[in-house]
Amino acid sequence: MRLSPPHRPALAAAGALLGGLLVAVPITAVASASEPDWNACLKGTADRQAVFDRAAETSGVPAEVLLAVSYMESRWDAHGEAPSTSGGYGPMHLTDLSALAKDTEAHPDPLGKGDGSNLPATTTRQREEAVRLGEVETLRAANDITGIPVADLREDAVANICGGAAVLADYQEAAGGAESLADWSAAVGRYSGAADEATALKFARQVFATLSAGESRTTNDGHRVTLAGKPVTASEEAIGRLDLAEADADAAETVECPAVLGCESLPAPYEQTGDTVGDYGNHDLGSRPEEGSVDYIVIHDTETSYDGTVRLVQDPTYLGWHYTLRSVDGHVAHHIPGKDVGWHAGNWYVNSHSIGLEHEGYAANGAWYTEAMYQTSATLVGYLAQSYGVPLDRAHIIGHDQVQGVAPANVAGMHWDPGPYWDWSHYFDLLRSPIKPDRHSRSEIWTVNPDFDTNTGNVMTGCTQAGVPCPSDRGTNFVNVYAEPSTDAPLLPDTVVGGSAKVSNWGPRLAAGQKVVVNDRTRPTWWGVWFGGKQGWIQNPRDVLLPSDGKVVTPKAGTTAKIYGTAYPTQASDYPAGVTPRTIAPLQYTIPAGQKYVLADARIPTDYYKANNFNCATVDGVPDCIVISGDTTYYQIWFNHRIAYVMADDVTVTNG
């Protein structure tokens, strides 16, 4: 777009800042003694690397600081008129409270406890209270300083970067200037919008770690941007000059979180909500891992703002999950101890064996899954995985979209977050467990791993409006499975949800890190795979599949194998007197004779966690909050987009 000229001179002087920039560590850009010329920042090529350089030269903010802050906020991407869940716009995530005021969507329809019980729908009052205006409005500050019109700061990447640089320069001047690169920790910490010192310091550490390591990528609109690494450490002393609130020391002792993240304690309530012992919320007491195991970490998105999400999790009549992560700075709120069982996955077996993390964002617009949130989440998940012995692989670090229903009636209604725009490959790089080739022998097994940034050819609809194509410039985490080896063929229909191109339809998709058996390699650009009990086809397999080792399961000779959404005990004798045995209902899927699927985990616990009463009360002599184990052996397999379980008696396991 054509930018309007600034309508008034800058309000922040740069003279004091200049003096501080001329000493200590050499800094890339230095402001002139006169007021910055923001027209000069706007003029010239729109190449994003060049724009960052111009903004640095104009503002006096070191280019590497500007690049590192933007990378953490947006990975240098532009999003046009689309605000983030925190009301932020553009590569510099300039925040506007009016955008937050429009965010009235509540958390997605709750799936209940996941054991077949129902939960009251969210009330109108709760939906209204799910959004609270924030406190930081950098977009208006950028307008005041530069005179660049608000509309341009929102919608144009050039103006947005210039505006963000102006705000950072203004923040640093207010903090007393900068004599070294590390002194810019003050401006960086304040730019995060954090209300407390620990969160500001965490964000500054992430920014300066990125600055030290360097980064390079192609943005969603085709700009190649590079940040050359320059070793430097964030300054705690500089953050201390911001005069922010100190963290609550007593609360810090109760959070299960790496100290470096400065997590906040916002406990989810465990309260009785009615007259009977079974009326309570919003989670269950437990004794994991002493009794019961944690085998999964489930990645969710919030589908509303951070403030709305933490309001909901503090409602005893709603659902409970263990952590919420904020998009703008990666801040973490801890709600439920890991020993206790959250109601977050919509599948009681998975709930009883998992920890749930809600990430601020929208599945249909993953553009605002920020680097700050990715990095914080990976640090937290790595900590939890080590604490509970959860393998760092895609069979155990799973999306909510990978969770099956507990019974046939539940399959279609399960959620699909974090959706096609969550960058699983990058996430596992941050977890230091990259998705990579691991084959050491001949095998039919392959691992899906498209290049996220360039994987933009998947046609989807409904991101903003039903039937309307989604933006074609966004990277995606999946490859489509077709019914025939041709892009003119329909997408392979899932038995339950079909094969439409709706953004919410996980049915025909293989996501990064998932494994598949290839059964036909006779065509150079199409390979045949077994998927969801059917024959499917993947285009350009050499570009999206990695060779892998492993084992496969196939139905015993002449039979089909049933698919299950849980691994509950199957025999009535497994259950104590007074406890009703769980109904073991196979799902709508089967593995036809001769088909093979990759074994994901051969050591699945066969158990049911009975937790029906408030405070684990014993009723009629029947104890509560007990793990009931059985002797039936289950295997977890890669079946379709979701994880699935088969009974060992129904299949044969062989090398892949």
Arithmetic mean of pLDDT, 356-384: 94
pLDDT digits (tens, 9 = 90+) for 492-534: 999 999 999 999 999 999 999 999 999 999 999 999 999 999 9
Burial 57-82 (b: 16+ CB within 10 A, else e): bbbbbbbbbbbbbbbbbbbbbbbeeb
* DSSP assignment letter at 277: T
The token duo for 71 is 């990378």
Distance, in Å, from the CA atom of 280 to the CA atom of 343, rounded to the nearest integer, reads 12
> 């990528």: which residue's tokens?
217
Arithmetic mean of pLDDT, 529-555: 96
> 């090529």: which residue's tokens?
45
The helix or strand, by DSSP H or E, that contains position 536, with its residue range, turns out to be strand 534-539
The token duo for 304 is 């509303």
Backbone angles phi, psi at 491, to 5 degrees: -65, 145
What pLDDT score was predicted for residue 248? 60
Helices 371-388 and 63-74: angle between axes, nearest 10 degrees: 60
Backbone angles phi, psi at 356, to 5 degrees: -110, 130
Residues 6 or more apart whose CB falls under 8 angstroms from that of 538 comprise 479, 480, 481, 482, 510, 516, 526, 527, 529, 544, 545
> 């809600």: which residue's tokens?
358
Nearest CA-CA partner of 656 in 560, 512, 518: 518
Distance, in Å, from the CA atom of 341 to the CA atom of 287, rounded to the nearest integer, reads 9
Distance, in Å, from the CA atom of 67 to the CA atom of 49, rounded to the nearest integer, reads 9
Q: Which amino acid is at 7?
A: H
What are the DSSP E strand ranges found in 522-596? 526-531, 534-539, 545-547, 551-555, 561-562, 590-591
Instruction: Report DSSP letters for 394-408, one per residue.
Output: TTTEEEGGGPPPSSH
Distance, in Å, from the CA atom of 39 to the CA atom of 54, rounded to the nearest integer, reads 11
What pLDDT score was predicted for residue 113? 76
What pairs with residue 299 in β-bridges?
A: 357, 399
296-301 and 397-399 strand pairing: parallel
pLDDT digits (tens, 9 = 90+) for 311-368: 999 999 999 999 999 998 999 999 999 999 999 999 999 999 999 999 999 999 877 8
Arithmetic mean of pLDDT, 588-600: 98
Q: Which amino acid is at 214?
A: G
The helix or strand, by DSSP H or E, that contains position 578, with its residue range, turns out to be none
What pLDDT score was predicted for residue 243? 81
pLDDT digits (tens, 9 = 90+) for 141-164: 999 999 999 999 999 999 999 999
Distance, in Å, from the CA atom of 519 to the CA atom of 554, rounded to the nearest integer, reads 13
Percent of the chain with pLDDT over 70: 89
264-265 and 332-334 strand pairing: parallel
pLDDT digits (tens, 9 = 90+) for 56-74: 999 999 999 999 999 999 9
- Is residue 221 very low, low, confident or very high in pLDDT (cuts 50, 70, 90)? confident
pLDDT digits (tens, 9 = 90+) for 410-447: 999 999 999 999 999 999 999 999 999 988 777 899 99
The token duo for 599 is 């074994």
Predicted confidence (pLDDT) at residue 258 exceeds the cutoff of 70: yes
Mean pLDDT of the chain: 89
Distance, in Å, from the CA atom of 535 to the CA atom of 591, rounded to the nearest integer, reads 11
pLDDT digits (tens, 9 = 90+) for 29-53: 333 446 899 999 999 999 999 999 9
Residue 559: Cβ-neighbour burial (10 angstroms; 0-12, 13-18, 19+): middle
